[in-house]
Each structure stands twice: as C-alpha cells, then as structure tokens.
Amino acid sequence: MSLLRVLGRPMLASMFVTGGLDSWRRPQNVAPIAEPVVQPVTERVPVLPDRTEDAVRLSGAVQLVGGLLLATGRLSRPAALAIAVTLVPTTLAAHRFWEEEDPDQKTQQRIHFLKNLSMLGGLLIAADDTGSAPSLLWRSRHAAHDLRRDAHLVRHSVRAGAGPAALAGRVRATLSR
C-alpha cells in the first residue's frame, strides 16, 4: 500500500469517526436539524427507523464504523461508499445555505456544504480505489478475453488435427481391405 493511502485514508476518515461518535452518543443534539430530511427519507425507505433520533444514531454508527474501517484500510472501499451514502442526507440537513437570510450565516453554511461536497468526492475516489490491485471488473473482462482466446486455440488445434486424423483413418481403412 502506498504512503499516500496510508496517510490519506485516516485523514479522510477522522471527520467521520468523530462526527459519527458524537451523533451515535448524542443524537438529540442534531435531531431537530435532521428532521426535515430524515422524515421524507424514512417514508420512502421502510427499513430505516421512523424516529429521527434513531435514524441519526444509525447514521452516526455507520459513519463511526465506516470511518474506522477506512482509517485502518480494512474493507475501505465498501466503508467509503457507506459513509458517502450517509453524508448526502447529513449535508442536506445540516447545511441548507439556500434557506439562510443572514449573509454571514449563508456564507458559513455554503462553505460547510462545499466542504462536505469535497469530502463526498474524496469518499467516492476512495470507494473506487483498488490499491493498485486489479478491480473485479478488470479481472472478469480479462478472464473472459482469456477464455475466448483459449477457445479459439482449441478450435484451431482441433481443425488442424482433424485433417490428418481423417486422412490416417481413410488410409487405414484402405489398407485393411
């Protein structure tokens, strides 16, 4: 694993470990802010908890566990993707700069919104990072290519061997008469 991955993953994960721990331990602190986003999401996704505090606690747990996995390099691709899924509603709930009327608050919320958008980009890159190992898609494409090549070689060798074998069979049949 490269030095950039060893250093970068924990740096990216640090915000989610601390924020996730806080949301998991004290969901009541952010539940009022999360309410406008959580309720429409929980109505459309029946597996999510109905209570806003429970949904915030679940999101915090996903961010905490995902952050720890990302930081340690264990299952970092699915962990980054799971964190990314929780970051979208978190950002939409907490940083609604378009609703702010105070220019200073609007600027601050826009900065936080763009910061979260940047972290989302980093998470998507981390979710796609194979760590210099070939991805499953690459492996499957090359396995299919290798199978096609092998089938082509078998077909040519069968054709090449069939002609002399047929001739030998005819000569043998003629000689046995």
Query: What's the whole-model pTM score?
Result: 0.68
Confidence check: pLDDT of 117 > 90:
yes
User: For 124-151, how does the pLDDT look when each residue is reduced to its tens digit (9 = 90+)?
Assistant: 988 888 776 666 777 788 888 888 898 8
Confidence check: pLDDT of 1 > 80:
no
Specify burial of residue 6 (Cβ count, 10 A radius: 0-12, 13-18, 19+). Answer: exposed
Contact call for residues 151 and 105 (beta carbons, < 8 A): no
d(CA 27, CA 59): 10
Contact call for residues 77 and 84 (beta carbons, < 8 A): no
Residue type, 78: P
